[in-house]
Amino acid sequence: MRTILDFLGTDHQACDELFAVAEAAAAQRNWDSTRDLFDRFRMVMDRHLAMEEQVLFPAFEAKTGNSMGPTGIMRMEHGQMRALMNDMEAAIAAGDDASYLGLSETLNMLMQQHNLKEESMLYPMSDRILAGARDDLIRDMENLVR
């Protein structure tokens, strides 16, 4: 039996790995590689955020009757991450490694704090609260954006 924590935690790792290789390419000023790797990172990150925002969060909120609690905070942080990723895309287009790396450091810190909150609080709560629907929710997240 898979859990939401395992499923989305593994997805966090995949996002983090692509993020790290894109950052390494930017540090070497290899802009073609950075652009390609960042585009791949952005694609998996956008998919991850969509799985949460379109499947997990609505199910959690429907079951708890609360959209202003942890899911509200996570949505706000998703917006912050999207804004940083947009700025990073502009830095790539400009070939501005200093800007990219500064934004990258900020995004990395935000992602790590965000992931910790999800993995230590939201996902375990979701596994408990949504236990009866967990398999369907994971399947819906898998099928969301392919």
Q: What is the pLDDT of residue 145?
A: 64
The share of the chain scoring above pLDDT 70, in percent, equals 99
Report the C-alpha gap between 15 and 2 in whole angstroms: 20
**Residue 127, both tokens:** 């596994």
Q: What is the pLDDT of residue 144?
A: 87
Query: What average pLDDT score do residues 109-125 get?
Result: 97
**Residue 91, both tokens:** 């830095």
Would the CA dihedral through 122, 128, 133, 135 be positive or negative?
Answer: positive
* pLDDT of 39 higher than 80: yes
- For tokens 């996002």, name the residue: 15
Residue 144 in contact with residue 51, Cβ under 8 Å? yes
Q: Give the model's confidence band at 146: pLDDT under 50 very low, under 70 low, under 90 confident, else very high.
A: low
CA distances from residue 47 to 55, 118, 136, 146 in whole angstroms, order as listed: 11, 16, 18, 9
Give the pLDDT confidence of 41-93 residue by residue, as tens digits: 999 999 999 999 999 999 999 999 988 889 999 999 999 999 999 999 999 99
- Give the H/E segment covering residue 18: helix 4-27
pTM score of the predicted model: 0.94
* pLDDT of 1 higher than 80: no
Domain housing 53: 4-144
**Interacting residues of 127 by C-beta distance below 8 A, sequence separation 6+:** 3, 4, 5, 134
Q: What is the pLDDT of residue 68?
A: 85
The 8-class DSSP code of residue 66 comes to -
Would the CA dihedral through 53, 55, 56, 57 be positive or negative?
Answer: positive
Question: What CATH number did the domain enclosing 85 receive?
Answer: 1.20.120.520
Quickly list H helices, 28-96: 31-51, 57-64, 70-94
Number of domains in the chain: 1
